[in-house]
Amino acid sequence: MRELHSFGWYAKQLKGHLPKKAFRPDPGKLLGGAAYLLITTAAMLGIVFLSLPLPVNLLLSLIIGMSFAAMGFLGHEILHGTVVRSPFWRNTLGGLFFWPLCTGPRLWRKWHNMSHHVHTQHEEKDPDTWLTDTAVRKNAMLRLIYRLPISVRAFFEFATQTVMFTLHSLRMFKTYASEFKSNAAPALWLQLLLPWITWISLLLIAGVTNWIFMYLIPLLIANGVVMAYISTNHRLNPQVEINDPLANSLTVTVPKWVDVIHFHFSHHTEHHLFPAVNSTYYPLVKQKIKEYWPHLYHEMPMSKALIALWKTPRPYFNGKNLIDPSRGEVYGTLGNGLTESGESASTRAQ
C-alpha cells in the first residue's frame, strides 16, 4: 500500500484555494429543510384525510421517504456546524431533521463526528467499518452465514439496507451511552425516546394502515437511500491505520439535481477532508484534489459502486483486501486491485 497521509495534511495544502465564505455557516440551507417538512406534512395529511387509492398512497410514501432521507443529510450537515454555529440551534435543528431516523444529536456527534471522522476505516476504532475475516472465524453464527453463496449474501445485505441505519443507530446508542457523563444522560435518553414515542403515537392516532404509508414504508425507503451512500462511502476502500481520506473514502457521482436535494452528500472524500466546510463548495474541493492528486482520488458512479458492492464480499482480509470466507477467494479494494469501473479479479488466499 502507498504512503498514507492524514486528512490534515491534505487540508493544509488545499485550504488556501477555498474562499473564506466556504468556512462560514450557511443558514440558507434551512429553507430546503423547511420545504421537506412542508412536503412531508402535506403528504401525511393527504394519506389520513383524503382516502386515496393504493397507488397514490404508495407514491406519497415514496415522497415522504425521499424527504426523510434528505432531511437526514441536512441534519448531518447541521451537526457538523456548517449551517448554524450556536450549539443550542445546532442540536435542536439537527435533532429535528434526524427525527424521522430516530437518531439523537448528542449520540450522532459522539458516534459520527468524534469517532467515525477521527478514525475512519480503522479496524478497531471506527464504529462504522465492516468486520474482518478474523471476526467471522471467531463467531459461529457468522461462519454459518458466510457459508452461503456470495450472491445470496449480497441479496440479503442489500435487502437489510432498508433497516440498517436505524438498527446501527440503536447499536451505537448501546456502544456509547456509557461514555456520556451522568448529567448528560437524561438528554441522551430523551433524544433517543422522543422520536420513537412520536412515531408510535402516530400509529395509535392514525391507525395501522395509514401509519404504514405515513411512516413505516417511508422509513424503509429513507434507510435504503441513506445506506446506499453510506455503504459506498467506505466499504470498497481498504482499512487503514492512518486516516487518509484519499485512501479510505469514495466519492460517488449522481445527477446534479440529486446532489442539490441531497446537500452534496455524494462528495464524501471532500467531506472527510473538510467536514466543517459548506457542502456547496465540495465540487470546488473535488476540482482541487484532482489537480493535486489525480492518481490517488477515487470516484465512481453510484450505480457502478453498488454493483461492485454486490459482486465483492464484505469481510476484510489483511486490511487492504476483501475475502469470501466460504471459498477463500480474495478481492482487491480501491487502490489495491479494485478498479473504478467496479471490477476486481479474485485470487486464492495464501
Where do the structural domains in the chain lie, given as residue ranges?
Answer: 7-123+156-170+181-300
pLDDT at 339: 72
Distance, CA of 82 to CA of 25 (rounded, Å): 4
Q: In three state form, how does the secondary structure of the chain look? A: CCCCCCHHHHHHHHHHHCCHHHHCCCCCHHHHHHHHHHHHHHHHHHHHHCCCCHHHHHHHHHHHHHHHHHHHHHHHHHHCCCCCCCHHHHHHHHHHHHHHHCCCHHHHHHHHHHHHCCCCCCCCCCCCCCCEHHHHHHCHHHHHHCCCCHHHHHHHHHHCHHHHHHHHHHHHHHHHHHHCCHHHHHHHHHHHHHHHHHHHHHHHHHCHHHHHHHHHHHHHHHHHHHHHHHHHHHCCCCCCCCCCHHHHCCEEECCHHHHHHCCCCCCHHHHHHCCCCCHHHHHHHHHHHHHHCCCCCCEEEHHHHHHHHHHCCCCEECCCEEEECCCCEEEECECCCECCCCCCCCEECC
* Cβ–Cβ < 8 Å for 263, 77: yes
pLDDT at 347: 61
If one counts every other C-beta atom within 10 angstroms of the C-beta of residue 20, the result is 6
Burial of 194 (0-12, 13-18, 19+ CB in 10 A): middle
Between the alpha carbon of residue 190 and those of residues 3, 172, 303, 318, 330, the distances in Å are: 45, 15, 38, 41, 45
- Cα dihedral 63, 79, 18, 261 in deg (nearest 10): 0
219, HSE (Cβ side, Cα atoms, 13 Å): 20
pLDDT at 346: 55
Low-confidence ranges of the chain (pLDDT < 50): none
Cell 395529511 belongs to: 45
If one counts every other C-beta atom within 10 angstroms of the C-beta of residue 158, the result is 17
pLDDT at 1: 61
Distance, CA of 52 to CA of 48 (rounded, Å): 9
Distance, CA of 179 to CA of 83 (rounded, Å): 27
| Cell numbers representing residue 37 in the block | 417538512
Exposed e or buried b per residue across 100-126, where buried means at least 16 C-beta atoms within 10 angstroms of its C-beta? bbbbbbbbbbbbbbebbbebbbbbeeb
* Cβ–Cβ < 8 Å for 322, 331: yes
Instruction: State the Rg of the chain over Cα.
Output: 21
pLDDT digits (tens, 9 = 90+) for 171-192: 999 999 999 999 999 999 999 9
pLDDT at 146: 87
Distance, CA of 191 to CA of 196 (rounded, Å): 9
pLDDT at 341: 60
Distance, CA of 185 to CA of 183 (rounded, Å): 6
Cell 504512503 belongs to: 3
Distance, CA of 268 to CA of 349 (rounded, Å): 31
Distance, CA of 273 to CA of 284 (rounded, Å): 12
Q: Amino acid identity of 286?
A: K
pLDDT at 11: 93
pLDDT at 344: 58
* Cβ–Cβ < 8 Å for 266, 254: yes
